[in-house]
Structures are given as structure tokens and as C-alpha cells.
Structure 1
Amino acid sequence: MDLFVRESGPVDAPAIVFLHGGLMSGWTWAPVVERLPRYRCLVPDLPQYGKSVDLGPFEMARAADAVAELIRTRTSTGRAHVVGFSLGAQVGLQLLATQPQTVDRAVFTSTFVNTMPAVHLARRLAGLFARTTVFRWALISRYWDAHDAAQNEGYRRDARLNSGRQFAHIAVASAGFTVPLGLEKAFAPALFVTGDKELRLLRRWAAVLTRSMPNAVDRLAAGMGHNWPLRNPDLFSHVVDAWLTQTALPAEIGPASPQQPVGDYAGSRTGRPAAR
């Protein structure tokens, strides 16, 4: 599957693949990418989104396979760092579970994982609610500044694509996402960051995912809401760079619980060396 991809940065630099959230396409990563000029940045539009809209329908496994193909064909090593936000974080986790050899290190934020026993019911409800205007408005208001959105053609284009039955299909895929089989064998160091103003459930899900991986840690971003990578690109880009270079995270990023040491960057619970 040949995803539409925005590319920037030195060809021989370490590569980062940025995976966008569920109500937007890859162009929204531009403020973060421009703050990371020393990396090779690859920013795809996922299937059924943006300029990859004709590659739908969106399915989590197909999207992860497409990202793996992108990494194999657009990098010299066949590996890349992966950064995922919301739906993009789910795709990144699916990639780690099924094709971990393609990922060096990962940063995931605002990651939803269904831990309820009635997964099928959650999927059905998500599909029904997603068709309603009120539900879409509530979700969009968490991502977008209304003034900026009114001036942005990219937003208007994505909003048109994320409507009705199309959006319902994506909502079902996201709402039904559970901890993927194979994640326990993904040894890439992974950082899960949740804004401390997000729903508490997201913190619990980050903790579940952290426990599901050998080399993962979860952190809280002080004062941040769900859309903080978009509204705070300075902080988010600093987090990404620090995690990838294994240096100190910004002061705004603290432990998710009092028991966690802030310096536990590589996730060394298993004793296995962290990937470089």
C-alpha cells in the first residue's frame, strides 16, 4: 500500500515516522516536524485519511502493515523511530506487536485501549455515536482551536472526510482496539505520555500498556490536555528528542505514579538491553 508521505530532513539522519490522530491527517504534525530538523521525518496520511483517502477502508492491521512497508522502503536501515498520537498511537502499537523489527524507539501519547469485557458492545456504540453531529463536534472541539480551524483548509478537508458512515467505521476500529497479541515481545523502548488534564482512564490505559511491554515507561505531562502535541509543539518536540537521544525529559514530564523514578528512560525491568 503506497501511503501519501511528507518527507523532510537529511536523508542519512535517524528516521522518525509520525502517525496522526483520528480526526486529522499528517499535515497536523508540521509544527512538531519543523522543530526536529536534524531527523529524517516521514509523515504519512493513514488509509482513509487526507491524501490516502482512496486507500481505505481504515483497518488497524492494514494501517500498521502500510507503515511497516513505508519504513522498509523509505529508510536505509529498514527501521525507524515511531511517534503516535491517539489513533496513530494505536497503529504504532499494532506495528510493534506484529513487526517489532521495524521500530527502534517509540513515543505514544493519549493512547486508547479497550480493557472492558464487552468489546463488541463498545464497538457497536462507537459506531452509532460517531454518526451523530454532536458526538463529532465534541471530539473535534478537543483537537482544534475554533479560530484556527476556520482559517485552515486542511482542517475543513479532514472534517469532510471524517463524517457519517466513514467516521463511524474508523470509530469502531479505534473503540475495539485491545492490547495486541505480540506486544509482550516488542523490546523497543517505548514512552507513554498522558496529559494530566486528560481523562483518568487514559492514565490507566497507559499503565496497562506499559506493563504489557518489556521496555516501556509511562509519564504525565503537567498542565496538558488531550491535544497537547498540536497545541504545545515546543514541549512535545523536546519530549521526542529527549526520548530518542536518551537524555533527560523536560521538567514538565513527571512520573505517572510516586513509585516511578523519573530517570527510568529505557525501561529496564527485564534486564534486556534497550534498543539503540
Structure 2
Amino acid sequence: MDLFVRETGPLQAPTVVFLHGGRLSGWSWEPVIDRLPGYRCVAPDLPQFGKSVALGPFRIDRAAQAVATSIRSGFGAGGLHLVGYSLGAQVGIDLLAREPALFASAVLCGTFVNSFPWVGPSQRFVGALARMAWSRRLLSQLWNAHPPELAATRAADYREDMRLALSEDAAHIVSESAGFTVPKGLEKSPVPALFITGADEYWPAHRSAAELARTMPRGVNAVAVGMRHDWPLRHPELFSRTVRCWLANADLPSQIAVR
């Protein structure tokens, strides 16, 4: 499976792999990547998203395998840095469990793991809800009421991604995300991983980040003060500084509070 991949930066610079969320494809990382000129930045479109839409259907494990294959063949077999947001963070977690040797560090934001005792029923309920037309209309209204600034600069890409994300065909992506659990092997992954949750996110995201940080030997749980779930898209300056500091083993910005 050959994912579509955007690549910028010096060829000999440290490589950072960016995994997008469940609404917008790899181009949405551009405001962050533009602020990281000293890195070789790689942003694939995950299966069933953007220019990899024909490679669906999306599954987290399948997407992780595709990302691993793409980066191993094009960008090396180790020492890479991983950045993931929302759905992309779930793919990133799966990668850290199955391919830890590929990565030197990771920053994962706004992720979710289903730790309820009724994973199957909750997954089916969320999937059924996502297939309902009124639910998709509500999500569209909520998202488009306050679109991120990057939507204005890439209007055509934004509209196309939103059309796909709010279609009935995408309901199984929501279900796949809702059924994601801590992958086997994550407890042995030695990668230094920073799990960040926006302070204003709902409690399942905070609980998930804490559980993931406890699971990994070098996991760190942190909160982005005053931020919502989509803060990496809305505050690229702060997010890029956070990534740069974590990758360089430097002090995090004051807005990132370690728990």
C-alpha cells in the first residue's frame, strides 16, 4: 500500500512523521511544519483520507502498517520522530507498540483509548450514531461554525476533506476510533512519548492520556492550558514549539503542564 506522502525540509535533517486527525488530511500540518525549518517533515495521508482515499477502508492497525512500510522504505529504519493528533495519535500509539525501533520520540495529542468494560457495545453505539444523517449534520454545523484559520488558505482541500469526513461512508472510521484499546506491546515500548490533552477536552481524553502515559515506561502525561481538542490546528506556533522542545529534550513551553 503506497500512501500519498508530503515531504519538506533538508534531506539530512532529523525526520518527523506527522499523522493527521479524523477530519483533515496531511496538508493540515502545513502551519506546524512551516515553523520547523530544521527538520525533514513527512506527512502522509492515511488510508481513506485525502490523496490516499482509494486505499481505504480505514483501520487503525492497517493504517499503522501502511505508515511503517512507507517511512521504512523512504526515510530510514530508525531514529525518526512521531507526531500524531486525534485519530493520527491512535495510529501513532499502534506504531509505538508494533514498530518501536523506528522511533526516537513521540508527541501524541488528543487521543482516546476505550477502557470501558463494554468495548464492543460502546463501539457499535458510536458507529450507529455516526451513520445517522442528523448526527453528521450536527457535526458539520459545529465544525464549520468556527473553522481553523488554515481552512481559508486551503479552501478546496478543506471542503473535500470535510465532504469525506461527514459522509456516511466515513461512519466506520468513527466506530474504529471508538473501539481502540491499548495495543499489546505498548507496555514494552521504550520510546519517550509525550501525551498532551487540551485542558478543555472531555474527561475521556484526559483519562486516556493518563492511562497511556502509565502504560509506557517513558510516557509523560501533560495538559495544554486553556486549549481545546483541536489546538494543534488552531495554535501552530505553540504546538511547533512543544514538538521542538520535546524532540530536543528541552523544557516544554509554560502552557504545557506536566502532570
Is TM > 0.5 for Structure 1 vs Structure 2?
yes
One-letter code of the match for 2:66? A
Alignment of 1:139-150 (within 5 A): 139-140=139-140, 141=142, 145-146=146-147, 149=151
Tell me the equivalent position of 2:232. 229
Q: Which runs of 5+ in 1 are unaligned?
A: 257-276
Q: Kindly state the Cα deviation for residue 189 of structure 1 after the two structures are TM-superposed.
A: 0.1
Alignment of 1:7-156 (within 5 A): 7-140=7-140, 141=142, 145-146=146-147, 149=151, 152-156=155-159
One-letter code of the match for 1:213? M
Structure richer in helix, relative to its length: 2
| Structure 1 residue runs of 4 or more that deviate by more than 4 Å after TM superposition | 137-140, 147-151
| Alpha-carbon separation, structure 2, partners of 1:147 and 1:42 | 21
- The count of corresponding residues between Structure 1 and Structure 2 is 256
Q: Point out the more displaced range, 61-70 or 130-139.
A: 130-139
Is the 8 Å Cα contact of residues 142 and 226 (structure 1) preserved in structure 2? no
Instruction: Name the CA shift for 1:92/1:2 in 2 (closer, same or farther; >3 Å).
Output: same
Identity in percent? 52
Is the 8 Å Cα contact of residues 189 and 216 (structure 1) preserved in structure 2? yes
Q: Kindly state the Cα deviation for residue 134 of structure 1 after the two structures are TM-superposed.
A: 3.9
Residue 57 of structure 1 aligns to a residue in which SS? coil
Is the 8 Å Cα contact of residues 71 and 79 (structure 1) preserved in structure 2? no
Is the 8 Å Cα contact of residues 148 and 233 (structure 2) preserved in structure 1? no
Deviations 1:206-255 (A, max 9, x none): 01111111001011111100000000000000000000000010011112
Residue 163 of structure 2 aligns to a residue in which SS? helix
Deviations 1:3-23 (A, max 9, x none): 000000000110000000011
| Alpha-carbon separation, structure 1, partners of 2:148 and 2:99 | 40
Instruction: Name the CA shift for 1:56/1:244 in 2 (closer, same or farther; >3 Å).
Output: same
| Alpha-carbon separation, structure 2, partners of 1:171 and 1:14 | 33
Is the 8 Å Cα contact of residues 71 and 78 (structure 1) preserved in structure 2? no
| Alpha-carbon separation, structure 1, partners of 2:60 and 2:49 | 13
Q: Kindly state the Cα deviation for residue 200 of structure 1 after the two structures are TM-superposed.
A: 2.0
Instruction: Name the CA shift for 1:162/1:51 in 2 (closer, same or farther; >3 Å).
Output: same
Q: Kindly state the Cα deviation for residue 194 of structure 1 after the two structures are TM-superposed.
A: 0.6
Residue 238 of structure 2 aligns to a residue in which SS? helix
Q: Is it true that 1:159 corresponds to 2:162 in the alignment?
A: yes
One-letter code of the match for 1:180? P
Q: Is it true that 1:180 corresponds to 2:194 in the alignment?
A: no
| Alpha-carbon separation, structure 2, partners of 1:192 and 1:138 | 29
